[in-house]
């Protein structure tokens, strides 16, 4: 087992290293709008680091929209291409490792639960093991191109998954710190505070203790966030970054096309309506956090997946890196797979959109025979795929819960295992 694990991780490492070595590939992928957005582009980050190292305030020019501590992280190593590559590769591999650990912890949890009885009175088959989950993340094309394209969404994903991992482990301070770091890097993961707190309180029966943990977590989260902001202020010496980083994420001021739903809408919009629709669009992202956390309080891990998928679909600057995060979290909940009804459709939608997006971009930008509608249409198809995934997984989860509550009668004939005799009661 250990051998297999190390082989998988070594293969993932080697593949990324080899792809980094292909000349021009990093620049090509890094320039794709589907992979790097204004808030995750490595090119803009390097610009920021350059300005920072030359004593120019990096957030003045309206180019850099990445968090100050990210500049601080890259400042000492950006001159060495190898170190930067290693940072990306190891970051990606660490996410894979954490997903494996999360799955292992979840298996341990579910082994104590009552097994769902299935037709023919058989126990439910176990879900995917941790290694498969890690493999599905590490060899997902979206993950690979996002890593090789050096999108800084990787660090936000890293912090998010670390938060979930620590939540599973029950380490309050680290879990809250990680989620705070993820929120600090790209704001939206702040939604995950609720399911991660649920993760921390799972299995706790005592109401007062739960309350205590919740208050403690809220305090920890706010303290970590405040300390991160303070550290950033010390680093860059001004509070300009608030406007440049979070102002851009929330205000969507850079309308470079991407796979999301915002840019096309706001290019067309008259200025007087802009603030209103910005608020509507952003509320639409955040509004899911509480209802999902309340409804799925029994399965916070699934809530984490669902919320990251909501983030990746409805945020202002989505990229395939966001898809990599939720598609990595999805196999953790692999027990719902067989209840899904539209998997064929979803896989096809993802394939069509990921092939047609570059083609339509080419028709629009290079040949001039297409136009912006082409690319936006594919963005819509991609979003439809994501939404159907959200709906289908939610349905599958609910269906499984129903199965658990009302297990089938084991009276089906031996060769008619799929029958459930309906008795008139």
Partner 1 sequence: MGLLSRISKAQRRTIFGRFVLDWMPRLSYVMVAVSFFWLLALPHQNYSHEVYLSENALLPGGANTRFDYSDVLAAEAYRDTVQRISTLSSYERAKALEQEFAQIGLKAATQNYTLNTSTDSKHGVNTYAVFYAPRSDGTEALVLSASWTSRDVTANTNAIAALLALGKVFKRGSHFSKDIIFVVSDGEAEGLMAWLKAYHGNEENTKDRAEETLHIRSGAIQAALNLDFAGTGDYNGLGIFFEGVNGQLPNLDLIKTVTYISGGLALTLHDEIVPYTDNMTKNYMNSLRRMLYMMKYQAAGTPSGNHGLYLKYKIDAITLYGFNRPGLDANRYGLFRLGSLVESTVRSLSNLLEHLHQSFFFYLLSGIHRYTSIGLYMPPVIILGVSFIFQALSLWGESSDLSLEVEAIAQGKEVPVTLPYSRRSRSFKTPATIVGMSFVAGLASFKLVKTEFGFPGETPLLKLVASVGVCTMLVFSAVSAARLRQHLLVKNEAEKKKAQVNSKSSSGEPAPAADWIMLKTFILALSALMVTTLSALNFSMAVSIGVVIVLPFMIFRPSKFLILNAIQIVILSVISPPGLVFLASWLYDMDVSLVLRWVLDGYEIFGTWLLPTLCCIYWPLNIASMVMVLMPTE
**Contact residues for partner 1, defined by CB under 8 A:** 119-120, 338-339, 344, 348, 351-352, 355-356, 359-360, 362-363, 366-370, 399, 403, 412-422, 424
Angle, CA of 61, 67 and 73, to the nearest 5°:
110
Nearer to partner 1, 87 or 365 (CB): 365
Instruction: Output the 3-class SS for the chain.
Output: CHHHHHHHHHHHHHHHHHHHHCCCHHHHHHCCCCCCCCCCCHHHHHHHHHHHHCCCCCCCCCCCCCCHHHHHHHCCCCCCHHHHHHHHHHHHHHHHHHHHHHHHHHHHHHHHCCCCEEHHHEECCCCCCHHHHHHHHHCCHHHHHHHHCCCCHHHHHHHHHHHHHHHHHCCHHHHHHHHHHHHHHHCHHHHHHHHHHHHHCCCCCCHHHHHHHHHHHHHHHHHHHHHHHHHHHHHHCCCHHHHHHHHHHHHCCCCCCCCCCHHHHHHHCCHHHHHHHHHHHHHHHHCCHHHHHHHCCCCHHHHHHHHHHHHHHHCCCCCHHHHHHHHHHHHHHHHHHHHCCCHHHHHHHHHHHHHHHHHHHHHHHHHCCCCHHHHHHHHHHHHHHHHHHHHHHHHHHHHHHHHHHCCCCCCCCCCCCCCCCCCCC
Q: How many CB atoms lie within 10 A of CB 249?
A: 19
Nearer to partner 1, 173 or 348 (CB): 348
What residues contact 205, with CB distance under 8 A and at least 6 apart?
none
Nearer to partner 1, 81 or 359 (CB): 359
Nearer to partner 1, 270 or 418 (CB): 418
Nearer to partner 1, 241 or 302 (CB): 302
Residue 251 C-beta: closest distance to partner 1, Å: 32
Nearer to partner 1, 251 or 417 (CB): 417
Nearer to partner 1, 75 or 119 (CB): 119
Residue 415 C-beta: closest distance to partner 1, Å: 6
Residue 144 C-beta: closest distance to partner 1, Å: 15
Nearer to partner 1, 276 or 402 (CB): 402
Residue 348 C-beta: closest distance to partner 1, Å: 6
Q: Tally the residues of the chain.
A: 425
Nearer to partner 1, 270 or 366 (CB): 366
Residue 355 C-beta: closest distance to partner 1, Å: 5
Residue 359 C-beta: closest distance to partner 1, Å: 6
Residue 277 C-beta: closest distance to partner 1, Å: 29
Residue 91 C-beta: closest distance to partner 1, Å: 27
Residue 369 C-beta: closest distance to partner 1, Å: 4
Residue 354 C-beta: closest distance to partner 1, Å: 10
Residue 370 C-beta: closest distance to partner 1, Å: 8
Q: How many CB atoms lie within 10 A of CB 417?
A: 14
Q: Distance between CA atoms of 11 and 7, rounded to whole angstroms?
A: 6
- Single out the residue of 314, 316, 320 nearest to residue 390, CA to CA: 314
Nearer to partner 1, 79 or 411 (CB): 411
Q: Distance between CA atoms of 59 and 145, rounded to whole angstroms?
A: 28
Nearer to partner 1, 203 or 413 (CB): 413
């Amino acid at each position: 087992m250990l051998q297999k694990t190390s082989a998988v991780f070594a293969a993932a490492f080697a593949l990324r290293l080899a792809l980094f070595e292909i000349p021009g590939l990093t620049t090509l992928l890094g320039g794709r709008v589907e992979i790097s957005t204004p808030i995750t582009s490595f090119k803009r980050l390097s610009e920021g680091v350059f300005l920072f190292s030359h004593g120019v305030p990096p957030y003045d020019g309206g180019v850099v929209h990445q968090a100050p501590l990210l500049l601080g992280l890259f400042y000492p190593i950006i001159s060495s291409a190898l170190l930067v590559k290693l940072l990306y590769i190891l970051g990606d591999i660490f996410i894979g490792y954490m997903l494996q650990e999360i799955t292992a912890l979840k298996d341990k949890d579910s082994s104590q639960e009552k097994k769902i009885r299935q037709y023919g009175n058989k126990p439910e088959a176990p879900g995917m093991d941790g290694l498969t989950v890690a493999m599905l993340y590490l060899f997902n094309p979206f993950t690979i191109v996002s890593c090789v394209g050096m999108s800084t969404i990787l660090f936000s994903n890293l912090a998010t998954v670390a938060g979930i991992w620590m939540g599973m482990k029950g380490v309050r301070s680290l879990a809250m710190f990680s989620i705070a770091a993820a929120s600090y890097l790209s704001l939206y993961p702040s939604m995950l505070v609720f399911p991660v707190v649920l993760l921390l309180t799972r299995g706790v029966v005592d109401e007062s203790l739960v309350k205590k943990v919740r208050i403690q977590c809220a305090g920890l989260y706010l303290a970590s966030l405040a300390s991160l902001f303070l550290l950033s202020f010390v680093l860059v010496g001004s509070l300009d970054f608030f406007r440049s980083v979070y102002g851009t994420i929330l205000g969507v001021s850079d309308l470079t096309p991407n796979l999301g739903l915002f840019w096309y809408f706001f290019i067309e919009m008259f200025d007087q309506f802009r603030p209103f629709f910005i608020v509507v669009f952003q509320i639409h992202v955040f509004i899911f956090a509480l209802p999902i956390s309340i409804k799925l309080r029994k399965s916070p891990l699934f809530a984490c997946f669902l919320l990251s998928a909501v983030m990746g679909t409805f945020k202002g600057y989505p990229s395939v890196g966001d898809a990599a995060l939720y598609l990595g979290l999805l196999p953790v909940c692999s027990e719902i797979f067989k209840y899904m009804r539209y998997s064929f459709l979803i896989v096809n939608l993802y394939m069509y959109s990921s092939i047609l997006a570059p083609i339509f971009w080419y028709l629009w930008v290079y040949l001039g025979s297409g136009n912006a509608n082409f690319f936006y249409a594919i963005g819509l198809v991609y979003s439809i795929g994501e939404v159907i995934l959200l709906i289908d997984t939610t349905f599958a989860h609910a269906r499984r819960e129903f199965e658990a509550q009302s297990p089938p009668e084991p009276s089906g004939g031996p060769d008619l295992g799929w029958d459930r005799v309906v008795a008139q009661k």
